A and B are shown apart, each in its own frame.
Chain A
Amino acid sequence: MDRENSSPTRPKWRKVAYGGMQPGYDDNYTDDSFLEGMVTNANVVKRDLMKVMRDSVSISQYLCIVVLVGVVWTYTLNSSLSEKSLLLIDASLLMSGFVILLLTEKMLSLNQLLHYLANVAFFTSELYVLAPIYRTLTTSISSDSIWAVTVSLMIIHLFLHDYARSTVHASGTWKNPTLTSCISLNASIVASVFVASRLPSSGYVFAIMLFSLVIFLFAPLVTHCIKKRSFCLHLLFSFVLMAVSLAFVYKLHRVLFFMFLVLLVFVSVVCPYWLIRIQEYKFEINGPWDEAKLCFDVTD
């Protein structure tokens, strides 16, 4: 350390731990080779603003879907949407979803479709049987707490939602969904149960539950399939959705409309720009102390 000019013949320092203290060098000697093995920012990807903005459309799209669900909930709770029209919406959504799946998913066979239909029929009948229970589930709880919990659950849902993939997969491509996406899905379903429990009749409860489940379970799958099929179609679909949801929210409430618009701009313009800006602060450190990565797949 501070013996730079001790003796000209002192041996070269070696990066070894054996052999006791190296003659001529203190234990806190820091060689010129110190941190030679450090690599910074090895895996940093340069991001392109346009690409990030295009990718953020998925998020805005899902936001619109959730907002539309909220609109339907509000209209149902106001009783401005009849039971029959709700059921009609359910049926048409289910049908269009199947059609889109059929058109986009090449692997889907008739056999699989029948399997799907049987599942949906089973699920629907079960929901119908359980509807009276849902209706009286929260009668002893005040409406205010229900709204508060529902809103917070929906926020949790949006925060933890897996925007890159869909939690529910087409059969055959089963992969483990992540914990957060499962929590997100469950939060949305609990929120739907809470909303449904404030409705006057079992028919309403059944219709709204079916609606919420169809959207929360299958909408990510359908949008995912569309995106896989063609990105242009995905963009088009998203912009249509945005326009429709903005129109509905505008009809519902001016302030909400304004907030929603700001949110959409924030998600699809401000956030991508922000991400690009903070990229320059990214600092990755790798070196010999890192845990080695195995070059093969480890399956337990």
Chain B
Amino acid sequence: MSRKNLSPSTLKPPSNLPPRSTVAPAPPPSQPGNADGLMGDRERHRILMVCDFFYPNFGGVESHIYCLSQCLLKLGHKVVVLTHAYGNRSGVRYMTHGLRVYYIPWRPFLMQNALPTFYGTLPIMRTILVREKITLVHGHSAFSTLCHEALMHARTMGYKVVFTDHSLYGFADVGSIHMNKVLQFTLADVSQAICVSHTSKENTVLRSGLPPEKVYVVPNAVDTAMFTPAPEIPRSNDEIVIVVVSRLVYRKGADLLVEVIPEVCRLYPHVRFVVGGDGPKRVRLEEMREKHFLQDRVEMLGAIPHSRVRSVLISGHIFLNSSLTEAFCIAILEAASCGLLTVSTRVGGVPEVLPDDMVVLAEPDPVDLVRAIKKAITILPTIDPQDMHKRVKKLYDWHDVARRTEIVYDRAMKCPNQNLLERLGRYLSCGSWAGKLFCLVMIIDFLLFCLLQLVQPANDIEEVPDMVMALGEGSSAGDDIPGQSSR
């Protein structure tokens, strides 16, 4: 799994309820030009975000969904998030700006994934879709079983669906063959798909067989208001601090660090390392530190809570990312936003993330990585952190991401409605055996849906009145996405 539990982002999950007084019923959604005047003549979507990974869990996908939802809310759409229960957090919660989150009582069984049951979630999903008068379902992450199920049910019920892929996957081993088949099943009938980088798009197109024009590239963004460089204080020029913030696991290239750090320390006596993060490879790093007597030059901080990531980042001059695979890599974006010069391995979508003069890329082998660090140290005096921050601010913005996602939604809504038979044809073309299996799964889903409609007609399900934030509730400022912290 490529998901990180230590994401260097500081957007906190605000789980407290907004005060009652700030919430007011919205006008009926059927009126296109609605009262708050934000939408103009654009279509107002009612979006359900589905993913197994959401707050209080923390990682790239979680913050992506949260930030995107907040920005879409600001664009005047209605957004509801659906995830599984976390601990005793079950039921409906409200987050900043009235973002409603359904924690459905469905326990995770492996790595925060809900147990795949195919049809178990159909009744509750149908109820939520009807209750919230959803028009479009947006699933996230190919690793999320809840997302796959939701997209399947949504298609059965005739909703338009959009899927965002956050990860890269190979083609060689049994695990990826299985995952790719599942993805093919889900994407066979998806209205539009989104990937976070061009490399990720190539990967997704190959894995799922979607036509490339159905796959959009909408990258992640970074909350530049949270990741600001250190205030202008003259840094001592005789010492260079290289920061590493990542989980210390194989896929993040912890073994590369073990080779690179002693070599860099040997070449440059004035370089210090700060390593933030924890994981199974931490022992190896500590062994390396003792073997080369680098205890005073390599600082191991252990796991860092996301709120402290910025303070760790601004203590250094160079950020080192040694990942072996990465679809987008928010970490280097956050480092750049903090004004650090980034040295990274050239893997996956990393070369697309930053312009060439803001990052030094290297092949994922120790010799080349040391060469890249050498180069970074020589160009370091020319780097102005404040300037770097301003550039990142220009390059990435969650509001821009939301606007681009909105276009995808508009296109998805324009897709023609298809009946079950037309849709079955798409599944059938997925493979000689798999195609028939997929068809069977969809037919059973459709029959269950018909049964549910008999047992509990949609008219009997109570609809939720819409809430909109009262005026003046911070809906104008551009960069106040992070809500109030609850912890």
Contact = CB atoms under 8 A, between A and B. Distances in A.
A292 interface: yes
B353 A17 contact: yes
B197 A288 contact: no
Given A28-B217, A291-B170, 17 more contacts: A16-B355, A17-B353, A19-B394, A26-B407, A28-B214, A28-B216, A288-B199, A288-B202, A289-B168, A289-B200, A289-B327, A291-B168, A291-B324, A294-B256, A294-B324, A294-B365, A300-B284
A191 B219 CA distance: 58
Give the size range of B's interface with the partner. 35 or more
A106 B354 CA distance: 59
A290 B325 contact: yes
Closest 5 CB pairs of A and B: A17-B219, A292-B364, A289-B203, A18-B395, A27-B216
B328 A17 contact: yes
B206 A35 contact: yes
Nearest to A1: B213
Given A18-B219, A27-B404, A294-B364, A288 B172 contact: no
Nearest to B220: A17
Q: Which of A34, A290, A291, A298 has the most CB of B within 10 A?
A: A291
Interface string A275-300: 00000000011111111101110101
What is the predominant secondary structure among interface residues of chain A facing chain B? loop
Interface string B205-242: 11000001111111100000000000000000000000
Nearest to B206: A285
B356 to A, nearest CB: 10
A74 interface: no
B8 interface: no
A253 interface: no
Contacts of B355: 16, 18
Given A27-B216, A289-B168, A292-B324, A19 B206 contact: no
Nearest to B211: A30
28 contacts: A1-B213, A16-B198, A17-B198, A18-B352, A20-B395, A20-B397, A26-B216, A28-B212, A30-B212, A34-B202, A34-B212, A35-B202, A35-B205, A35-B206, A37-B202, A284-B172, A287-B203, A288-B202, A288-B348, A289-B168, A289-B170, A289-B200, A289-B202, A289-B203, A289-B348, A290-B170, A291-B324, A292-B324
Contacts of A290: 170, 325
A21 interface: yes
Q: Which of B170, B192, B198 has the most CB of A within 10 A?
A: B198
A15 B202 CA distance: 12
Interface in B372-429: 394-397, 400, 404, 407-408
